[in-house]
Amino acid sequence: MLKFYKNATFVFLALTAFTLVLAWLCLERVFVSDALFPASESVIPWTLESSTDVFIGGTSSTIVKDSTYGLDYQYRLTEDKKFPFVSQYLRFGEVNKVETLADLSAYSTAKFTVRCVPRNVLAFYLHSFDARVTDPKDRSTYRISTMPFSCDEEWSEVEINLGHLNVALWWLETFDIEVTDSAYALDKVRAISIDASRNGPMNIFAQVEISEFSLNGFDWHYVVVFVVLSGLVWIVFIFWLFKQYARSLVEEVKHKLQKDLPLIAYQQLSIEPHRDEEKSQVLRFMATEYANPELTLDLALNVLGINRSRINEILKKELGFTFNTYLNKLRLAEAARLLSATEDANVTQIACSVGYNNVSYFNKLFKNEYGCTPKTFKNISQSGQGHQ
């Protein structure tokens, strides 16, 4: 069994290391984070377009200072129009490809850090395709879903949940769509934008800086890969462990039966002569009477007519055991042989046949001797014989 434990420990440690490496590899891919800046390195191509209310007769303006590693711009909203606006529009797709849509369904959040001077309230806009009204050539026909956020002179992190945006009521009313229609398609996104409106400062120049803009998500595919692959490996290991344990246990029992004289002596005593008559009487008596549930040291004394100290001396010198220890070994050895050799062996019947009327006590002694219950021993020993 020592070899089994060493092999099992080695394989267990190897599989644990494999599982940890697999978990690390999957974990690296489970959490998806794709930066949008700089645009040249973004996994989703995009182009920055600035837009104001000028095209509807307003006088709002904006100046983009930098859009390489972040977005740094100034803007000024005027009150010429009822709904003035300034928008920094990140249009997905390559330049001049009007109908390009991005699939953002793998992402759950958009994250960025932002600083505003003076304090401001801006809005995150997601522009998605709507089959009923969208005209690819008209930006305003894309469904608009939004979430406001605030910023001030200190850098702060903003996290937008892409799955819980609010479809703009004014957009629904413009296209005569029910206000309860709050769905939007994350797999058909035209653009995202940062918009300023009357919720922020008016008639003054405002500064906005955005950096570390990324789309983040959770890819369940790698979780499934990890669970399935590691599960299969550990199931195979458990199956192998059971087979190896059964084989090792059977081999250990066989070795024990062959090695320990007390466990086979009862089969030989009836045919082997002994020069010491008292020794012969004691050993023959136990070899033939071990199955008697009433057998005790006192009974042996009465039947053999040998005193207590002499019986114990004989057994100790010949076998190295006391009377009760040797008696239990004889009984348990015969029980093991019967369990292994008899296909329809009944544990209760075998316990009685070798001298145990108390099955629970028999189970306890057997487990202490062979490392498993009689029923388990029967199953694995007969299974091991079937594969030999």
Token pair of 352 as six digits: 């009685």
Residue 8 is given by DSSP the state H
Q: What is the pLDDT along the chain (388 residues), one digit of tens a residue?
A: 677 788 888 999 999 999 999 898 888 888 889 999 988 889 999 999 999 999 889 999 999 999 999 999 999 999 888 889 999 999 998 756 656 899 999 999 999 999 999 999 999 999 999 999 999 889 899 999 999 999 999 999 999 999 999 999 999 999 999 999 999 999 999 999 999 999 999 999 999 999 999 999 988 888 889 899 999 999 999 998 988 877 787 677 666 656 554 444 444 544 445 457 888 888 888 888 889 999 998 998 888 888 888 888 888 888 788 889 889 988 988 888 888 877 777 899 999 999 999 999 999 999 888 878 888 888 777 665 554 4
Mapping DSSP to helix (H, G, I), strand (E, B) and coil, where does residue 216 land? strand
Question: Cα 126 from chain centroid?
Answer: 35
How many whole angstroms separate alpha carbon 256 and alpha carbon 248?
A: 12
Token pair of 15 as six digits: 């599989």
pLDDT of residue 266: 45
Question: Cα 67 from chain centroid?
Answer: 42
pLDDT of residue 257: 57
Is residue 199 located within the same domain as residue 270? Answer: no
pLDDT of residue 101: 92
pLDDT of residue 154: 96
pTM: 0.61
pLDDT of residue 267: 46
How many whole angstroms separate alpha carbon 224 and alpha carbon 21?
A: 16
Give the number of domains in the chain. Answer: 2
Residue 148: asked if its preceding bond is cis (omega within 30°), the reply is no
Is residue 213 located within the same domain as residue 67? Answer: yes
pLDDT of residue 372: 83
Is residue 170 located within the same domain as residue 273? Answer: no
Is residue 97 located within the same domain as residue 159? Answer: yes
Determine, yes or no, domain membership for 22. Answer: no
Residue 38: asked if its preceding bond is cis (omega within 30°), the reply is yes
Looking up tokens 């697999």 gives 22
Is residue 200 located within the same domain as residue 314? Answer: no
Report the alpha-carbon angle 76-81-85, nearest 5: 45
Is residue 214 located within the same domain as residue 160? Answer: yes
Mapping DSSP to helix (H, G, I), strand (E, B) and coil, where does residue 267 land? helix
Residue 114, domain CATH: 2.60.120.430
pLDDT of residue 89: 95
Token pair of 298 as six digits: 């006192």
Domain that holds residue 89: 36-218
Query: How many CB atoms are located within 10 Å of the residue 332 CB?
Result: 20
pLDDT of residue 258: 60
pLDDT of residue 97: 60
Sign of CA dihedral 18, 20, 26, 29: negative
